Amino acid sequence: MGVLGFQIGMLNNKKKFSPLIMSAAVGNSSQLGHFENTLPSKEILELWKNGDAVCFDVDSTVCLDEGIDELAEFCGAGKAVAEWTARAMGGSVPFEEALAARLSLFNPSLSQLQNFLQQRPPRYD
């Protein structure tokens, strides 16, 4: 639910910044061989040092639920959002596009987020 936390922070923060979206995925470990413990490039270090926020997607990994689908259901848009989630997870739609589309389907308010978290706290693995 990092994205949701990001939105809450944005509602309370008037500072303008340009978000940078980077994603990484680990493939089949047998194809990767082994992970090398190397230092990141200067460019990557600069991105980390100058970032306003870091968000990690832990849905269905650390958290047992797919957070955006749960929130959408709570707000009455569960089926439509779940369809977008399935497309994104299937790889037919880029993550950023699917995320924007899913949020636009129900555009949760701060009070809805707070009520959702009170009534349905995250379940951790």
Which residues participate in catalysis according to the annotation? Answer: 57, 59
Cα–Cα distances (Å) from 62 to 27, 28, 58, 95, 113, in that order, read 18, 19, 5, 19, 20
φ/ψ (deg, to 5) at 63: -90, 140
Q: Decide if 116 contacts 71 (C-beta within 8 A).
A: yes
Looking at residue 30, its amino acid is S
